[in-house]
Amino acid sequence: MNNLPKLQIALDDQMLSEAIKTMQLVYKEIDIIEIGTILCCSEGMSTVKNLKAMYPDKIILADIKIADAGEILSKMVFDAGADWTTVICCAPIDTVKAALKEAKKRNKDIQIELTGSWTFEQAKQWKEVGVEQVVYHRGRDAQAAGQTWDVHDLNNIERLINMGFKVSVTGGITVKDLKLFKDMAINIFIAGRSIRDSKDPLEAAKEFKTAIKKYWG
């Protein structure tokens, strides 16, 4: 494989100040800064503007999970400084197209967020309209209900990669989980609480990077 999987931190705080505290500790190890849905909804687009101002060289992803109004919402996050944004998997294909069009105009990108119900029939449609990135998601509530990474997840991820998508993987991922994916060309691993809630977030981020080099280097 040519490229190492990248490391994305999910900032799912309710206050920008908390997200900033985490970033100041870990920024050196992070490739992509995700401003989580929680933080976007809590404090709005100023979170995107301010984090882009602080980290202009990082990829800033505003995870707003667009379901409708693809043009207005994607313009809004891109104008605020986001490089990437997300569209929820059940969104009408016209919404996907509208958001993708705004992204491509600006040399930016969207990702389809695979949270909850979706089908490979839809995935084929996303591919046809030019979507390049998807986020494979083991939901927070599904995790809480005891759902773990299983063969079903791994098969789905492999199938998406084989379709030509760049795949991000997320959902309570720990360093120990990385080995499960070692034979696949994962584009991005997203870690949230396993870095943020660690006693030493920088060390936790470094452990992710070390494991990524070990399995994909």
Contact positions vs a copy of itself (CB under 8 A): 12, 14, 37-38, 40-46, 64-65, 67-73, 76-77, 88-92, 94-95, 97-98, 113, 115-118, 122, 137, 139-142, 144-145
CB of 169 to a copy of itself, least distance (A): 15
Q: Smaller CB distance to a copy of itself: residue 1 or 72?
A: 72
Catalytic residue among 67, 69, 161, 202: 69
Nearer to a copy of itself, 29 or 168 (CB): 168
Q: Do β-strands 59-66 and 32-35 pair in parallel, antiparallel, or remain unpaired? A: parallel
Is 193 considered catalytic here? no
37 annotated active-site: yes
Side-chain half-sphere of 74: how many Cα atoms within 13 Å? 30
18 is catalytic: no
Kindly name the residue from 113, 153, 177, 207 that is annotated as catalytic: 113
C-alpha 68/C-alpha 76 separation (Å) is 13
Is there a contact between 101 and 66 (Cβ–Cβ < 8 Å)?
Answer: no
Please say which residue, 81 or 139, places its beta carbon nearer to a copy of itself: 139
Contact, 65 vs 87, CB < 8 A? yes
Tell me which H or E stretch contains 167: strand 166-170
To a copy of itself, the closest distance from the beta carbon of 160 in angstroms equals 17
CB-based contact 100:133 (threshold 8 Å): no
Least distance CB 194 / a copy of itself (angstroms): 16
For the bound state, the minimum distance from the C-beta of residue 33 to a copy of itself, rounded and expressed in Å, comes to 17
Of 147 and 174, the one with the shorter C-beta distance to a copy of itself is 147
b/e map 140-173, b = 16+ CB within 10 Å = eeeeeeeeebeeebbebbeebbeeebbbbbbbbb
Q: Which residues are catalytic?
A: 37-38, 65, 68-69, 73, 113, 137, 140
